[in-house]
Every structure is written in C-alpha cells, then in structure tokens.
C-alpha cells in the first residue's frame, strides 16, 4: 500500500526517494554492444540509502555489489544524487538527454518510455533474463503488475513475494498502559480514553505524536492513521470497487471533527505540522510521546534499545490499525503489492542492453538471490540446518554498527533493489520480540488492503500530465486546509466549501482518469 500511495503523488517526486542522479552516460564499442564486455563500466543511477551512507560513500563499495561484478564479469558504476536534490537532478538529467545506462527509479515508467528515455524490455527478458522470466511465468499476478496496459515491460523489478508486506504501523508505550491498567486500544473511542490518560496521568505533551515520518498533513496509506479507521484515506482509493477521493467523502468530515477536538484537548502533539525527524525522534526518546507511527525495523529497532539503556522498564508494542466499531477489521494496513513499484530501467543511451539485462537477471538466480539478501556465505551468513543465518558481522557487528547498518554495508536486503526479498531476512532483521510481534500483528489483515488500494496502474503520457497537474493543486490545498481544520483556523462548518473548491480543481476528472486506468489494469 505504501507503494500504491507513492504512485499517486506525482510523476517522479516519490520515485526519486529510490532514484539517483548521474548526468553522463557511457560510450561503448561495437564489441561491448554485442555483450562481450569492455573497459567502461555500466553506469547505474540510484539514490544512496541512508544506512549505506553511514559507512560507505557509494553502493560500489557494498560487498554484494563487488561479488555481483565478479560473478557476472560486468563492472558497474553507481552514481548518486545529492541528498535533497534528487528530483531536481533527475529532471535536469532527463531534459539534457545525457542519461546513464541504467536508472533505478520508482516512477511513471510508461511516460519515461513514451518520452524516449528508456527502452522496452520484453524481448530482452525473453532472450537474456531466464531467471526473471521464470518468476513471471510462475507468478502471473506479478507479471500483470509489471506490464503496462499494452503488455510492455519497462523495468527489472524489486519484488516482495513472501509473507511480509507491511513494514510499519502504530506503536504505543506498553509500560504506560500496564502502569495505568489500560488495554491496547482498538477503536477510535478507546484510543481517546488512552490518550487522555497519557496526558492527564503521565503529563506528556504529545500523547499522539505525528511528524516525520509521516507528517500528519500528508498522511498516506503507508501510515497507520485514524482517518483510515473511518473507511477512507486522504487520496485516491477504491470504494466498493470504484475509484474515489477520500477528502471529499463525508467520512473525512467526521474524522476532522474528531481530530480537531483531540487537538483542542491536547491529545495530539501541538507541533504535528512542523515536526522534522530530529524533533520527532527527540520527543520519543525523551518520553514525551505516548503513541506514534514508525517502521518495525529502523524505528522500533532504534528507539526501544536506546530508551531501555536509560530505563530498562520502557516498553513499546505494536497496536492494531484502528477501527470505529469493536470487531471491525481494518482495511488500510500499509500492505505493498508484490511489485514494490521500484525497478531498474535501461535507458536509450545504453550501448550494451544484452549484457546489462544478463547482469541484472543474476539477482533472480538462486546464487544472486542469496547474495542480495544474505551476502557472502562464511562472512555475513552461514547455513544452519538449511537456514541462512546471519553471523556476528551482521547481528553483533564488531565495529558497533546496528543490524540495519551492517546489512547495508554488505548486501541489499533492507531497502529496494533489483531482485526478490526473502522472508528469512526479515525474520532475523527483527531481533526484538516487539518487532517479531509487530510484523505478525500488522500482517493479520493485510489482504483487506487489496480491496481499497489502487493497483499498479499505468497512465498514458497525456493522462499522466493531466492528472499530475490537477492533483498538484488539490494536494497543496488539501494539506493546507487539513492543518487549518485541525487547529481551528478554519471552522469544520466550512467543509462543504472545501469540497466545492476541490471539485473546482477538477477532482472528478482526476477520478475518471484513475478509473479508466484501473479498468485497463483489470482487463490486462
């Protein structure tokens, strides 16, 4: 569901969280074009993951990448954008037509193809990617997600075919619940009772904390939030099988009424609209937050040990996605589709597409799969009764690296890249019992998300341009008004005017574009 939300943010804005930057391509000889290699490396444009950047300067230094080069005989050169300038550099690169050989992005692939930036991959996959072809043949639903409406394939994908497809949710101070004799809240009313107790009896300033990530003003299906307890989300979704826009639905008004009241009563962090990552972290670590959204791995895996060093009695546990009525099942759970939406594209500048596709296909082979998810046997994992078990280099790193940092130094399991994720990675990545419990809890109702999530649709160039133009205006207005409604700068009584303005921005046309694309997807 996270990727479904990101798809709808814009053309490439969300994509470049995974994309990278390079303003030069590679020249090549005829011999290289025939797949016999050459001195020049294949350039790959990709953002540098935060955990990687802590210990390495480039993905070229990752142990698995170096082993990949040895296994395939292909040299690669990763080129990364400046942090914070991903979108700008990406757009400059496209406008200049000076492209790298490969772009690992999360974007509007059909538009990239129609603009002439990337090439169609179907024939190359059929001839030179037997491992990926096998995966697609064995998983027709994955093939459906990967293909455009006309059957074209434009990206070598990052896939999640296992059990784990929800990676974050709401966590709560379990030690406070125990101290106050309270059960975990399930309904919005029960949440209100708990948050009041946190405020009144614990004296905290942020009973319910929002910030980065995600900001409350830009809530998406990736974030376990209270809007979705009302059966809608803050953007395009499926309502009874048809495309709808959450903020103009009556349930959105009911949610705003609740959140405005919670804000007035001090149940929501007063700085919800301005918290950055630093202040968000500080409020958790300083014991001012009662409940908050975070990720199972990099969130709880970081916060809980740090707090327990100061006070071993601190405990944080996962809470099921909220509902309105006791016994209801949550619909929005942050579940991703099997194709995460991230993928490696081959650009028009690539003079060695056959060699490139062969090299990328390695990650779908058995050896490549193990390398991507576990690294090098004997160094980062050993086989114990047939189970790839991480060594102390990963789980108890001698240099003091966290598990996620050690993983990122040696292989590419805990962030998207070409290939298929392995559940056995998650089973070990989540070292704490609270993490193991969370992944099970958040996955319990994950299949419900497919009923309300927009599938991996493909827009035409014209549709994409029109849809982005409409939604850019709507999204800016929605976020501004959301904050005003919650803090009381705009009376909730003005909700109908809010809806009318969104309709003037032509939301009906945006819904129509999405519905047409969903219909085409269902007909694939």
- 117-131, 217-231, 302-316, 365-379: the lowest-pLDDT one: 217-231
- 9-13, 76-80, 241-245, 353-357: the lowest-pLDDT one: 9-13
Count Cβ atoms within 10 A of the Cβ of residue 319 and give its class: 0-12 exposed, 13-18 middle, 19 or more buried: buried
Which range, 355-359, 452-456, 460-464, has the best average confidence (pLDDT)? 355-359
- Residue 26's pLDDT band, with cuts at 50, 70 and 90, is very low
Q: Does residue 313 register a pLDDT over 70?
A: yes
What does the pLDDT read at residue 306? 94
What does the pLDDT read at residue 230? 95
What does the pLDDT read at residue 335? 86
Sequential DSSP letters for 253-277: HHHHHHHHHHHHTT-B-TTTTT--H
Q: Does residue 482 register a pLDDT over 70?
A: yes
- Residue 166's pLDDT band, with cuts at 50, 70 and 90, is confident
Averaged pLDDT of the chain: 89
Q: Does residue 370 register a pLDDT over 70?
A: yes
Q: Does residue 449 register a pLDDT over 50?
A: yes
What does the pLDDT read at residue 275? 86
- CATH number at 167-332+429-524: 3.40.190.10
Mean pLDDT of 362-378: 98
- The phi and psi torsions of 164 (rounded to 5 degrees) equal -90, 110
- Residue 3's pLDDT band, with cuts at 50, 70 and 90, is very low
Only one residue has tokens 């992944």, namely 439
Task: With CA atoms as reference, report the closest residue to 147 among 174, 178, 128, 120.
Answer: 120
Cα–Cα distance list, 114 to 13, 311, 335, 468 (Å): 19, 57, 30, 16
Q: Does residue 1 register a pLDDT over 50?
A: no
Are 267 and 216 a contacting pair, CB within 8 Å?
no
Same fold? 2-164+336-421, 167-332+429-524: yes
What does the pLDDT read at residue 454? 93
Mean pLDDT of 353-371: 98
**Could you give the CA distance from residue 280 to residue 288 in angstroms, rounded to a whole number?**
10
- Residue 212's pLDDT band, with cuts at 50, 70 and 90, is low
pLDDT digits (tens, 9 = 90+) for 95-147: 988 899 999 998 789 889 988 999 999 999 999 999 999 999 999 999 999 99
Mean pLDDT of 19-27: 32
What does the pLDDT read at residue 17? 38
CATH class of 2-164+336-421: alpha beta
- The phi and psi torsions of 209 (rounded to 5 degrees) equal -100, 130
Mean pLDDT of 3-14: 34
- Structure tokens given for 445: 């109702």
Q: Does residue 224 register a pLDDT over 80?
A: no
Cα–Cα distance list, 393 to 64, 161, 358, 382, 405 (Å): 14, 27, 30, 11, 11
Q: Does residue 478 register a pLDDT over 70?
A: yes
Domain boundaries, the chain: 2-164+336-421, 167-332+429-524
What does the pLDDT read at residue 37? 46
Find residue 383's DSSP bridge partners.
388
CA dihedral 86, 88, 94, 96 (to 10 degrees): -130
Mean pLDDT of 28-50: 66
Residue 328's CB is within 10 A of a number of other CB atoms, namely 14
CA dihedral 19, 24, 30, 32 (to 10 degrees): -50
- Residue 223's pLDDT band, with cuts at 50, 70 and 90, is very low
């Amino acid at each position: 569901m996270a990727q479904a939300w990101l798809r709808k943010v814009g053309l490439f804005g969300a994509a470049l969280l995974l994309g990278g930057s390079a303003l030069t391509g590679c020249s090549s000889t005829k011999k290289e074009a025939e797949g016999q290699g050459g001195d020049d490396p294949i350039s790959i444009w990709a953002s540098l993951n935060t955990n990687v950047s802590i210990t390495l300067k480039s993905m070229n230094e990752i142990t698995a990448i170096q082993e990949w080069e040895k296994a395939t005989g292909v040299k690669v050169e990763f080129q990364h954008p400046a942090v914070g300038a991903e979108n700008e550099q990406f757009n400059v690169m496209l406008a200049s037509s000076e492209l790298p050989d490969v772009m690992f992005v999360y974007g509007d692939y059909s538009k990239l193809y129609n603009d002439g930036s990337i090439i169609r991959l179907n024939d190359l996959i059929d001839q030179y990617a037997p491992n990926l072809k096998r995966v697609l043949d064995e998983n027709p639903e994955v093939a459906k997600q990967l293909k455009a409406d006309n059957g074209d394939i434009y990206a070598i994908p990052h896939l999640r075919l296992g059990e784990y497809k929800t990676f974050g949710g709401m966590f709560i101070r379990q030690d406070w619940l125990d101290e106050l004799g309270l059960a975990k809240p399930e309904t919005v009313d029960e949440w209100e009772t708990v948050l009041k107790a946190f405020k009144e009896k614990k004296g905290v300033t942020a009973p319910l904390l929002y910030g980065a990530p995600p900001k409350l003003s830009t809530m998406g299906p990736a974030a376990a939030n209270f809007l979705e307890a009302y059966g809608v989300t803050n953007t395009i979704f499926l309502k009874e099988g048809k495309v709808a826009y959450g903020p103009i639905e009556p349930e959105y008004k009911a949610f705003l009424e609740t959140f405005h009241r919670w804000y007035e009563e001090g149940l929501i962090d007063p700085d919800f609209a301005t918290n950055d990552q630093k202040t968000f972290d500080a409020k958790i670590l300083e014991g001012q937050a009662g409940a908050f959204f975070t990720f199972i791995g990099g969130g709880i895996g970081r916060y809980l040990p740090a707090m327990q060093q100061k006070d071993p009695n601190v405990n944080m546990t996962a809470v099921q996605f909220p509902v309105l009525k006791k016994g209801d099942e949550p619909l929005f759970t942050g579940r991703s589709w099997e194709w995460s939406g991230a993928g490696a594209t081959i650009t028009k500048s690539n003079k060695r597409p056959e060699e490139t596709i062969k090299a990328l296909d390695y990650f779908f082979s058995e050896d490549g799969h193990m390398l991507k998810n576990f690294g090098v046997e004997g160094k980062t994992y050993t086989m114990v009764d047939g189970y790839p078990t991480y060594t102390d280099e990963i789980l108890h790193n001698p240099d003091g690296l966290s598990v996620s940092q050690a993983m990122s130094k040696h292989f590419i399991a805990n962030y998207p890249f070409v290939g298929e994720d392995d559940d056995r990675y998650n089973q070990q990545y989540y070292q704490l019992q609270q993490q193991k419990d969370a992944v099970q809890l958040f996955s319990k109702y994950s299949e419900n998300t497919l009923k309300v999530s927009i599938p991996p649709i493909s827009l035409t160039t014209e549709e994409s341009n029109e849809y982005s133009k409409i939604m850019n205006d709507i999204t800016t207005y929605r976020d501004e008004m959301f904050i005003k409604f919650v803090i009381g700068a705009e009376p909730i009584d003005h909700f109908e005017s809010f809806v009318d303005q969104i309709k003037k921005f032509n939301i009906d046309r945006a819904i129509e574009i999405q519905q047409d694309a969903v219909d085409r997807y269902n007909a694939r």
